[in-house]
Amino acid sequence: MSYLWEQLRAAVPLIWQGNGYIWGVTWVTIRVAAISTTCALVLGLPLGLGLGLGHFRGRRALQLLANASLALPPVLVGLFVLLLLLPPSLLGGLRIEFTLTGVYVAQTLLALPYVVALTPAALRALPPGLLDQARAFGAGRVAVALLALREARIGVLAAVIAALASTLSEVAAVIIVGANVENHDQTLASAIVSQLNDFDNIPYALAIGVILLTLILALIGALTAIQQRGRGFALRVPAR
């Protein structure tokens, strides 16, 4: 315990004194989390809505595939993305392997399953007949989808929280797809792994770990507070 306390005492000044390396990695992590989670929402919400509201052959199989994708090993996703980005592969011409842009792609693919799989689950928890009632009063597909998202927003926010958490804490895919270069494409989680290559840098690893935990608690806590503000708005149907 005394050794751990000594290392923590050495780590705290690195945080309060504004160490340039640590805060640079923190900024990269925030960018990766924000961009990847946003991309996952843009791509995943329409897919989740289609699975949750649609009635078509193969929907159950797609839902099973979406649920199974939650268990994809990040290291395997990182390898798959790298193989796609390396020339002469499909996306090799983009030349984004070992760059921050490549990290965005990998993190988006890791966050996407949470949105696609959890959104339909939230929609199926809506009161029976709610959306049918909206359709009966002439609501189109877009209006019904927006209503479904509004009424199921607590569950949808749970999907957002899970997606954001995955982008903040992932290590393997970031290291495989990115170059893990300081102040370039290194995130807080991957920076901890890098610092542990030299035991003299343990205070840096601890300082980075404290900031990562604080960032996770702050962002996830803010989304959780929004999620718990209310149960949603009731559907108001005009009387005839």
Burial class (CB in 10 A: 0-12, 13-18, 19+), 67: middle
pLDDT in 10s for each residue of the chain, 240 residues: 788 888 888 998 988 888 889 999 999 999 999 999 999 999 999 999 999 998 889 999 999 999 999 999 999 999 999 999 999 898 999 999 999 999 999 999 999 999 999 999 999 989 878 888 888 888 888 999 999 999 999 999 999 999 999 999 999 999 999 988 877 889 999 999 999 888 888 999 999 999 999 999 999 999 999 888 755 444 444 433
Closest CA to 101 of 28, 195, 27: 28
Q: What is the pLDDT of residue 231?
A: 52
DSSP track, 27-42: HHHHHHHHHHHHHHHH
Fold of domain 2-227: MetI-like fold (1.10.3720)
**Structure letter (DSSP) for residue 235:** P
Q: What is the CA radius of gyration of the chain?
A: 21
Q: What is the pLDDT of residues 180-193, one digit of tens each?
A: 887 788 999 999 99
Q: What is the pLDDT of residues 86-130, one digit of tens each?
A: 998 989 999 999 999 999 999 999 999 999 999 999 999 898 788
Whether omega for the bond prior to residue 88 falls within 30 degrees of 0, making it cis, is yes
Query: What predicted TM-score, i.e. pTM, was given to this entire model?
Result: 0.89
Q: Residue 64 half-sphere exposure, CB side, CA atoms within 13 Å?
A: 4
Residues 6+ apart with CB under 8 A from 50: none
Q: Where along the chain do its domains lie?
A: 2-227
Determine the residue type at 112.
Answer: L
Residue 233 contacts residue 153 (beta carbons within 8 Å): no
User: What stretches of the chain show up as alpha helix (H) in DSSP?
Assistant: 2-16, 20-53, 59-68, 74-85, 100-124, 130-136, 141-151, 153-169, 172-177, 188-195, 202-227
Residue 91 contacts residue 84 (beta carbons within 8 Å): yes
Hey, what are 205's tokens? 């690893």
Q: How far apart are CA 139 and CA 132, in angstroms?
A: 9
